Amino acid sequence: MNFRNLLQEALSALTANKARSGLTILGIVIGIGSVIAMVSIGQGASGQIQASIESIGSNLITVSPGFAAGGAGGVRMARGSATTLTVEDALAIAEQIPLVAAVAPEISRRYQITQKSLNTNTQVIGTVDTYPEIKNIQMESGLFISEQNFASLAKVAILGPTTRDDLFGEGVNPIGQTIKINKISFKVIGVTKAKGGTGFGSQDDMVFVPLSTAQRFLSSDEYVTSISVQAADKKAMAQVQNDITQLLLAQHNISDPTLADFSVINQADLVQAATQTTDTFTMLLASIAGISLLVGGIGIMNMMLTTVTERTREIGLRKAIGAKKKYISMQFLAESVMLTFLGGATGVILGWIISILISRFGGITTEVSLSAIILAFGVSAAIGIIFGYYPARKAASFNPIEALRYE
């Protein structure tokens, strides 16, 4: 018995009772469809979180100050509140560590900013010319801080689009105008492009000034609040993270790594932590949908058992005309696999349509991945084999004489 004959026989048996086959397939369609739709929601959420983390910058490693250690047993302040990092640390990282693409130290603090009668309270970031490259910031108009600005302690400012709107009104070109930060006048030389404020604080509501200017006129000390480091590529991230830790321990004369007065955070760790959450969420959704798939599988078994009983005489006849046991069981197995496979294919299409509808009307990002589709096909074929095996074996074990006499 060749494969073609097997498929033909299975197909004609299934089409002999279209209503029953259709209803049985429906169980698998719903099961696979909901798995595809649920997983697409989970993967969409995970993709969105990953994208928003990566919009902060690619291959990013952030060095922040550690605890302000008040001696042994002293009162600790919040992590990051310490003033332990300096511009020298940033220079050392840039000069001594290979595989570093760019380094940008920064000071950030909130200040009241005024422009004529309008005012706002927002984050002011003192930084250097490499910052836009590391943090994926693009200019809408004008220029970012230059090396010249840094060297000359220039009182210039670059506005985020939201800050521009707050201080000047929408659509007004602020370049050349003056704003006051902490009562000190700064000349606006550029506006950054909107990034869209998704999670992790809006990057559109900010003011950038040269780091040297901020240290001199705003914070009045030589410390920085963080150092952003861009690794040369993704693979170098762990290596660079490790090198920075070693270098800063040496710079700060600390021999015990557990007492480090800074922390180095790898962007990849952040992404991993976030995706771990969404993965759990995806698993939960998929397993709920998996239950309906299981019910669909039981439906297949139920139908196949009924079919086997109904077709007892046919099985007897097939055995009488020379069909071996394995041909009988293969035939019934082919029928159940064909059912689940058809159900799986329809379910993938249904799930896909549902996920498109969810993202269109529900406002949730969804993502149907190839691996989910392949998995769905694999699972539906496996269900056909698992739930079809027992009925097929039952059919094959019939005694032809008794089967032929069956009423």
Token pair of 150 as six digits: 């840094």
Span from 48-56, 107-115, 141-149, 310-318 in contact with another protein (CB under 8 A): 310-318
By C-beta, is 1 or 172 nearer to another protein? 1
List the one residue from 33, 316, 344, 384 that touches another protein (CB under 8 A).
316
The SS3 of residue 223 is strand
Least Å from the CB of residue 387 to another protein: 25
Could you say whether residue 318 binds another protein (CB under 8 A)?
Answer: yes
Residue count, binding to another protein (CB under 8 A): 23
Could you say whether residue 7 binds another protein (CB under 8 A)?
Answer: no
Could you say whether residue 276 binds another protein (CB under 8 A)?
Answer: no
| Dist. CA 283–CA 230, nearest whole Å | 33
By C-beta, is 131 or 398 nearer to another protein? 398
Could you say whether residue 11 binds another protein (CB under 8 A)?
Answer: no
Q: Which residues, in sequence order, are bridge partners of residue 157?
A: 188
Cβ burial 57-74 (10 Å sphere, 16+ → b, else e): bbbbbbbbbbbbeeeeee
Could you say whether residue 314 binds another protein (CB under 8 A)?
Answer: yes
By C-beta, is 324 or 360 nearer to another protein? 324
Say how many C-beta atoms besides its own lie within 10 A of residue 31's C-beta: 29
Beta-sheet pairing, 226-231 with 184-192: unpaired
List the one residue from 16, 51, 91, 291 that touches another protein (CB under 8 A).
16
By C-beta, is 7 or 254 nearer to another protein? 7
Q: Contact at 8 Å (CB) between 260 and 244?
A: no
| Dist. CA 178–CA 312, nearest whole Å | 93
List the one residue from 175, 238, 249, 404 that touches another protein (CB under 8 A).
404
Distances (CA, A) of 288 to 28, 292, 352: 14, 7, 18
The SS3 of residue 179 is strand
Token pair of 224 as six digits: 């920085």
Could you say whether residue 8 binds another protein (CB under 8 A)?
Answer: yes
Binding site for another protein (CB under 8 A): 1-2, 5, 8-9, 12, 16, 313-314, 316-325, 327, 400-401, 404
